[in-house]
Chains A and B, each alone.
Chain A
Amino acid sequence: MIKAVMMMNTQGKPRLAKFYDYMPVEKQQELIRGVFSVLCSRPENVSNFLEIESLFGPDSRLVYKHYATLYFVLVFDGSENELAMLDLIQVLVETLDKCFSNVCELDIVFNYSKMHAVLDEIVFGGQVLETSSAEVMKAVEEISKLEAASNSISLVPKSVSGWRGR
Chain B
Amino acid sequence: MEQLKTIGRELAMGSQGGFGQSKEFLDLVKSIGEARSKAEEDRIVLSEIDILKRRLLEPDIPKRKMKEYIIRLVYIEMLGHDASFGYIHAVKMTHDDNLLLKRTGYLAVTLFLNEDHDLIILIVNTIQKDLRSDNFLVVCAALNAICRLINEETIPAVLPQVVELLNHQKEAVRKKAIMALHRFHRKSPSSVSHLITNFRKRLCDNDPGVMGATLCPLFDLISEDVSSYKDLVSSFVSILKQVTERRLPKSYDYHQMPAPFIQIKLLKIMALLGSGDKNASEIMSMVLGDLFRKCDSSTNIGNAILYECIRCISCILPNPKLLEAAADAISKFLKSDSHNLKYMGIDGLGRLIKISPDIAEQHQLAVIDCLEDPDDTLKRKTFELLYKMTKSSNVEVIVDRMIDYMISINDNHYKTEIASRCVELAEQFAPSNQWFIQIMNKVFEHAGDLVNIKVAHNLMRLIAEGFGEDDDDADSKLRLSAVESYLQLISEPKLPSLFLQVISWVLGEYGTADGKYSASYISGKLCDVADAYSSDETVKGYAVSALMKIYAFEIASGRKVDVLPECQSLIEELLASHSTDLQQRAYELQALLALDARAVEGILPLDASCEDIEVDKDLSFLNGYIQQAIESGAQPYISERERSGMFETTDYHPQDHHEVPSHALRFEAYELPKPSGPPQASNELVPVPEPSYYSESHQPISTSLVSERESSEIKLRLDGVKQKWGRPSYQSTTSSSSTTQQAANGTPTYSDAGVGSSSSKPRSSYEPKKPEIDPEKQRLAASLFGGSSSRTDKKSTSGGHKPAKGTVNKPAAVPKENQTPVQPPPDLLDLGEPTATTVTAMDPFKELEGLLDSSSQDGGSSDVMGLYSDAAPVTTTTSVDSLLSELSDSSKGNPRTYQSQTSKGPNTKEALEKDALVRQMGVNPTSQNPTLFKDLLG
Interface residues of A (CB under 8 A from B): 13-14, 16-18, 20, 22, 25-26, 28-29, 42-43, 45-51, 53-54, 79, 81-84, 86-88, 90-91, 99-100, 106-107, 109-114, 116-117, 120, 124-132, 134-135, 139, 142-144, 146-148, 150-152, 154-156, 158-160, 162-163, 166
Contact = CB atoms under 8 A, between A and B. Distances in A.
Given A83-B303, A147-B103, A152-B18, A111 B13 contact: yes
Given A22-B148, A25-B80, A54-B412, 14 more contacts: A16-B78, A18-B111, A47-B340, A53-B413, A81-B308, A83-B303, A83-B340, A90-B300, A91-B254, A111-B17, A112-B19, A124-B176, A125-B147, A155-B18
A52 B925 CA distance: 39
B165 to A, nearest CB: 14
Nearest to A84: B304
B20 interface: yes
Secondary structure type dominating chain A contacts: helix
B340 A151 contact: no
Given A110-B29, A147-B100, A14 B78 contact: yes
A113 B64 contact: no
A64 to B, nearest CB: 11
B481 interface: no
B22 to A, nearest CB: 7
A120 B99 contact: no
Nearest to B417: A53
A95 B268 CA distance: 26
Contacts of B16: 99-100, 111, 144
Contacts of A158: 64
B414 interface: yes
B7 A163 contact: yes
A49 B33 contact: no
Nearest to B412: A54
Interface in B47-92: 64, 71, 74-75, 77-82
Interface of B: 7, 9-11, 13-14, 16-23, 26, 29, 32-33, 64, 71, 74-75, 77-82, 98-100, 103-104, 107, 111, 114-115, 135, 137, 144, 147-148, 172, 175-176, 179-180, 182-183, 209, 213, 216, 219, 223, 251-252, 254-255, 259-261, 264, 268, 300-301, 303-304, 307-308, 338-340, 342-344, 373-378, 380-381, 411-414
A61 to B, nearest CB: 9
B79 A14 contact: yes
Nearest to A17: B78
B172 A87 contact: no
Contacts of B135: 146
Contact of B71 (A112, A155, A160): A112
A151 B74 contact: no
Most buried by B among A46, A81, A130, A159: A81
Most buried by B among A13, A125, A151: A125
Contacts of B100: 147, 150-151
Contact of B219 (A18, A26, A79, A81): A79
Contacts of B412: 54
B512 to A, nearest CB: 44
A48 B26 CA distance: 33
11 contacts: A13-B33, A25-B80, A46-B339, A46-B376, A54-B414, A81-B268, A83-B340, A84-B261, A113-B19, A124-B144, A125-B182
A17 B111 CA distance: 9
Nearest to B99: A150
Contacts of B308: 81, 84
A127 B17 contact: no
Contacts of A166: 7, 23
B184 to A, nearest CB: 10
Contacts of A130: 175, 209
B78 A150 contact: no
A146 B99 contact: yes
Contacts of B137: 142-143, 146
B667 to A, nearest CB: 38
Contacts of B216: 127-128
A132 B176 contact: no
A125 B183 CA distance: 7
A125 to B, nearest CB: 3
Contacts of A53: 413
B80 A81 contact: no
A82 B135 CA distance: 37
B300 A83 contact: yes
A81 to B, nearest CB: 5
A17 B175 CA distance: 24
B81 A129 contact: no
Nearest to A32: B80
B484 to A, nearest CB: 37
B377 A47 contact: yes
A46 B375 contact: yes
Contacts of B183: 125-126
A113 B104 contact: yes
A27 to B, nearest CB: 10
Contact of A132 (B148, B180, B251): B251
Nearest to B143: A124
B304 A83 contact: yes
Contacts of B115: 22
B103 A13 contact: no
Contact of B26 (A18, A54, A110): A110
A17 B180 CA distance: 21
Contacts of A91: 254
A48 B268 CA distance: 22
Contact of A47 (B22, B32, B343): B343
Contacts of A127: 179, 182, 213, 216
A130 B211 CA distance: 11
Contacts of A107: 13
A83 B307 contact: yes
Contact of A154 (B19, B64, B251, B413): B64
A83 B261 CA distance: 11
A82 B81 contact: no
By Cβ-Cβ distance, the 8 closest A-B pairs, closest first, are A54-B413, A83-B304, A125-B147, A22-B114, A47-B339, A46-B375, A29-B80, A147-B100
B267 to A, nearest CB: 9
A79 B264 CA distance: 10
B148 A125 contact: yes
B381 to A, nearest CB: 8
B13 A83 contact: no
B103 A162 contact: no
Contacts of B300: 83, 86-87, 90
B413 A28 contact: no
A125 B179 contact: yes
Contacts of A26: 80
Contacts of A142: 137
Contacts of A156: 14, 18, 20
B380 A48 contact: no
B179 A45 contact: no
Given A25-B81, A51-B380, A87 B260 contact: yes
Contact of B261 (A100, A116, A128): A128
A57 B75 CA distance: 27
Contacts of A83: 300-301, 303-304, 307, 340, 344
B18 A147 contact: yes
Nearest to B339: A47
B422 to A, nearest CB: 18
Contacts of A135: 209, 251
B80 A28 contact: yes
Nearest to A104: B9
A35 to B, nearest CB: 14
Given A144-B17, A146-B99, A112 B377 contact: no
A114 B79 CA distance: 18
A62 to B, nearest CB: 9
